[in-house]
Amino acid sequence: MGATKTDHFTDKQNAIATLAKALGHPARVAIVDYLLKVDACICGDIVNELPLAQPTVSQHLKELKNAGIIKGEIEGNTICYCLDKNSIDKLQSYFANISIKLEKKKKDCC
């Protein structure tokens, strides 16, 4: 017990959950916001932007990368991290679809 029962759900459900989970921490949302704000890929100063120690930031970046929210390559002693539009679009369309279905429904009982 304690481990998520991933194999009992559909691939799509797991995929959405993985992406959502990656953004389920304010530091990682902040990283995404920062990547958008600077409008660039090379963000060597991201550690200075967050109220967290360098290893912690590195760990959060790793999780975002593992989940597919960002992609990045090592370039010497700097890093090139970019948002992966494909993943963002997956989330966007998932929620847009829900929203549309809720709009049609209107049986607003709660």
Footprint of its own copies on this chain (CB under 8 A)? 4-6, 8-10, 13-14, 16-18, 20-30, 32-33, 36, 39-42, 50-52, 71-73, 80-83, 85, 88-89, 91-92, 95-96, 98-99, 101-103, 105, 107-110
Q: Minimum CB separation from its own copies for residue 94, in Å?
A: 9
- In the DSSP assignment, the letter for residue 42 is B
Q: Which residues pair with 42 in a beta bridge?
A: 80
The Cβ of residue 47 has, within 10 Å, a number of other Cβ atoms equal to 15
13-41: burial string, b at 16+ Cβ within 10 Å, e else: eebbeebeebbeeebbebbbeebeeeeeb
Tell me how far, at minimum, the Cβ of 1 lies from its own copies, in Å.
Answer: 9
Can you point out the beta strands (E) in the chain? 70-75, 78-83
- Residues in region 6-25 near DNA by CB under 7 A: 21, 24-25
Other C-beta atoms closer than 10 Å to the C-beta of 77 total 6
Interacting positions 33-72 with DNA (CB under 7 A): 43-47, 52-56, 58-63, 72
Q: Using CB under 7 A, list all residues that contact DNA.
A: 1-5, 21, 24-25, 27, 43-47, 52-56, 58-63, 72, 74, 76-79
